[in-house]
Every structure is written in structure tokens, then in C-alpha cells.
């Protein structure tokens, strides 16, 4: 099979298309013949060697794929060969075939096309877990969402609005702010206007950026406010990690003592989908509910760009440049 391998950590240019051995499923595993790849910011971080538990180079990145099951290992009753699935291997997905634990797969009905399927799992489950498990959003609450025009952000806007919340969307350009309002956000601002837009307070902040955005969002939390931090995009440049900037942005976040969190009734939660494998069964149930919303038209993943497999490094560069909206999908 062919796969895009990172022989060393670095920018998109390090990726090389290689002939690799076909994978074979072990006990509890399946092999998926890949039809499309859902590209995530986590893939860019892994390629640069700064993602949790990233394999030593050389390795094949790739967190999310869709395709058909072509082989199953011992003890696997579901999914069966031929089944259409979304799979979240965490690493290894930038290839024509990928081996993945069966419990990290989600059934995809024939009514959902490959592109849509590739844009559902990581974005949908991240937004769902952040808003409803950690954020515990309620009807009428005000929710601030940073990186609102990205893959997770566009899903989170729709989910929060459908749940009866009022959404403050934060995005970098006027075009992205228009997209956010089209998706239902009640207010949309740029990062320069974020502090002013927080006037009056918020109940939940869902933040993928971190750094200097943290303090104003944290201070704006109302009693029983919840802050969910699920990324640190401020440290990532168009081609590489800015380590000096990362250090400065960490300093700008300040230090927190638990005692004021008690007196102000605030919650701070961190979240990374790849680090909760013990929730696989629960996440499969949630994916089914997300899929049901997509099927009836109440939730629609935003696909900002679709590129062929031969141009996967270009897709990495495009996503990391932040010039895209919604999800970047690579087709095989």
C-alpha cells in the first residue's frame, strides 16, 4: 500500500509518499480500506513531534479516516468485512489502509457520503464532549467559542445553538465571522474585539487557542462558569511550532490557585480526545446521536477544502496556515 510517512519531525514538506507493508489485523482489530481522510490540527502537531504519545519518526500520521472494513482480527464480531465505517486510529491514517482497534470504529450508513463521514467523528465528538460533558451547557446560557470557523468550532456553534444557548463566536476574519453567524451564532467578533465582547459575562468558554485569550475569558466567567481548554493553537505558526512564542503565551495565561475557583464557583477543564480511550464505548453512542442529527439535517459539518491523496502535504500546509474554514478532507 501507499502511505504518507514523516521520516523526521517538521513542516508539511517532510512528508514522503512511500510503499509500505499492508497491515494485518491483530486480536480485536480491523483493517480499513481508506476512501477519505479527515485532516485535523492534531495531525499537524503530530507531524511536528509535539502531540501527546506521538510515535518516533519515521511514522505515518493520521487520526481520522472513512472507508470499508477489508479484514477483521480474532474476536471481532462488529464491524464485519465490507462495513462502511469511520475510524479513529490516532496515528497511521494517512495511508491507503489502516489497522485500528475495532472499538475505535463507528458505523457509517450508505446515506452519508465519504466526504461528510470524514468530517464527523473528531470534530463532532470533541465539540459534543466539550459542550455537554465538561461544559454542561443549559438553555439560555452564553457560550464563547474561539476558532469558531474551524472544524470543531463550526460543529460546536450548531450544537450549542440547537441546545438553546447564545453563542459568541470568535474568528480571525470577517468572512469567518459571517460563516459563524450563518451557522447560528448570535454574535461574531475578531480576536482584537474579544475582550470587549465578553462584557456582561459568559457561562461557558470553549477555547482551542489559549495563551493571551485565557485570562479575559476566565475572568468573564459568571458564577458556575465553565472553561474548557482543548488546544493551544496560539503556539503554532504557518509552518512550525514557535517555541519562544509558546513560552510567552503560557506566561500570559498566568497562574491559578484552586481557592478562588471555589469562591467564584468556576470550573477549568482540559480535554484531548485521543487521551480518553477508556471512553470508546460511550463515544460510539455519542457518535450515533451525532449521526442521527446529521441524517435529519439538524447538524451539518462544514467542509472547507477537498484535496486528492497525492496532495496531502498541501492539505497539511493549508490547514496549518489557518486560511481554511471547517474541515479539510483528503480523498483517495
Query: Rounded distance, CA 142 to CA 283, Å?
Result: 26
Per the domain annotation, does 280 fall within a domain?
no
137-153 average pLDDT score: 97
The rounded distance, in Å, linking the Cα atoms of 157 and 177 is 12
Q: For strands 65-72 and 327-331, give the pairing.
A: unpaired
Which of 197, 193, 203, 201 has the alpha carbon at shortest distance from 164?
Answer: 203
User: Are residue 112 and residue 143 in the same domain, yes or no?
Assistant: no
Of 273, 289, 320, the position where a domain reaches its end is 273
Size of the chain, expressed as the number of residues it contains? 332
- Res. 237 pLDDT band, cuts 50 70 90: low
172: in domain = yes
Range list of β-strands (E), 123-210: 142-145, 166-170, 187-189, 202-207
- Give the 3-state secondary structure percentages of the chain, helix then strand then coil, rounded to 5: 35, 25, 35
For residue 281, being part of any structural domain is answered with: no
Claim to verify: residue 144 and residue 233 sit in the same structural domain: yes
Q: Are residues 173 and 268 in the same domain?
A: yes
Task: Give the residue numbers spanning the domain of 262.
Answer: 125-273
Q: Please check whether residues 43 and 90 belong to one and the same domain.
A: yes
Q: In terms of domains, do 176 and 255 share one? A: yes
Chain-centre distance for alpha carbon 221: 24
The string of pLDDT tens digits covering residues 1-53 is: 999 999 999 999 999 999 999 999 999 999 999 999 999 999 999 999 988 99
The pLDDT score that the predictor gives to residue 277 is 80
Which candidate, 296, 309, 135, places its Cα nearest to that of 205?
135
According to the model, what pLDDT value does residue 279 have?
A: 85
Quote the crossing angle between the two packed helices 151-162 and 121-128, to the nearest 10°: 50
Is the domain of 139 the same as that of 255?
A: yes
At 129, which CATH number?
3.40.50.720
Burial class from Cβ neighbours inside 10 Å (0-12, 13-18, 19+) for residue 77 reads exposed
Mean pLDDT of 164-181: 97
What is the chain's mean pLDDT, rounded?
93
Q: Do 48 and 178 fall within a single domain?
A: no
In CATH, what number is assigned to the domain containing residue 316? 3.90.180.10
**Runs of H (alpha helix) within the chain:** 41-47, 114-118, 121-128, 151-162, 174-182, 194-197, 214-219, 243-253, 258-263, 280-295, 312-320
pLDDT tens sequence across 250-302: 666 777 777 677 767 889 998 888 888 888 888 899 999 999 999 999 999 99
Can you give the pLDDT at residue 275? 82
- Answer whether residue 26 is part of any domain: yes
Phi, psi (5° rounding) for residue 111? Answer: -75, -15
Domain total for the chain?
2
Give pLDDT tens digits for 175-216: 999 999 999 999 999 999 999 999 999 999 999 988 889 999
286 belongs to a structural domain = no
- Let me know if residue 211 belongs to a domain: yes
Asked whether residue 293 is assigned to any structural domain, the reply reads: no
Whether residue 168 contacts residue 150, with contact meaning beta carbons closer than 8 Å, is answered with no
Domain for residue 291, yes or no? no
- % of the chain with per-residue pLDDT over 90: 80
Amino acid at each position: 500500500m501507499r502511505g504518507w510517512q514523516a521520516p523526521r519531525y517538521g513542516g508539511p514538506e517532510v512528508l514522503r509518499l512511500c510503499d509500505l507493508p499492508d497491515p494485518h489485523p491483530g486480536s480485536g482489530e480491523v483493517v480499513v480500506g481508506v476512501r477519505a481522510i479527515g485532516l485535523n490540527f492534531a495531525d499537524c502537531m503530530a507531524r511536528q513531534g509535539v502531540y501527546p504519545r506521538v510515535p518516533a519518526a519515521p511514522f505515518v500520521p493520521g487520526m481520522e479516516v472513512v472507508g470499508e472494513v477489508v479484514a477483521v482480527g480474532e474476536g471481532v464480531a462488529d464491524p464485519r468485512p465490507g462495513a462502511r465505517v469511520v475510524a479513529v486510529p490516532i496515528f497511521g491514517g494517512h495511508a491507503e489502509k489502516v489497522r485500528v482497534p475495532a472499538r475505535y470504529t463507528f458505523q457509517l450508513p450508505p446515506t452519508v457520503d465519504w466526504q461528510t463521514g470524514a468530517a464527523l467523528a473528531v470534530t463532532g465528538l470533541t465539540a459534543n464532549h466539550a459542550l455537554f460533558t465538561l461544559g454542561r451547557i443549559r438553555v439560555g446560557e452564553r457560550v464563547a467559542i474561539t476558532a469558531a470557523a474551524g472544524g470543531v468550532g463550526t460543529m460546536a456553534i450548531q450544537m450549542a445553538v440547537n441546545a438553546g444557548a447564545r453563542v459568541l463566536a470568535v474568528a480571525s476574519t470577517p468572512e469567518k465571522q459571517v460563516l459563524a453567524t450563518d451557522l447560528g451564532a448570535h454574535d461574531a467578533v475578531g480576536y482584537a474585539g474579544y475582550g470587549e465582547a465578553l462584557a456582561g459575562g459568559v457561562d461557558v468558554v470553549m477555547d482551542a487557542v489559549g495563551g493571551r485569550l485565557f485570562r479575559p475569558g476566565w475572568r468573564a466567567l459568571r458564577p458556575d462558569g465553565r472553561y474548557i481548554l482543548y488546544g493551544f493553537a496560539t503556539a503554532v505558526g504557518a509552518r512550525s511550532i514557535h517555541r519562544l512564542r509558546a513560552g510567552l503565551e503560557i506566561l500570559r495565561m498566568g497562574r491559578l490557585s484552586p481557592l478562588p475557583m471555589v469562591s467564584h464557583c468556576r470550573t477549568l477543564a482540559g480535554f484531548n480526545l485521543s487521551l480518553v480511550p477508556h471512553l470508546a464505548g460511550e463515544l460510539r453512542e455519542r457518535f450515533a446521536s451525532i449521526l442521527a442529527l446529521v441524517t435529519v439535517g439538524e447538524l451539518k459539518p462544514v467542509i472547507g477544502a477537498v484535496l486528492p491523496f497525492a496532495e496531502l502535504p498541501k492539505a497539511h500546509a493549508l490547514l496549518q496556515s489557518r486560511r481554511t474554514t471547517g474541515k479539510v478532507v483528503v480523498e483517495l
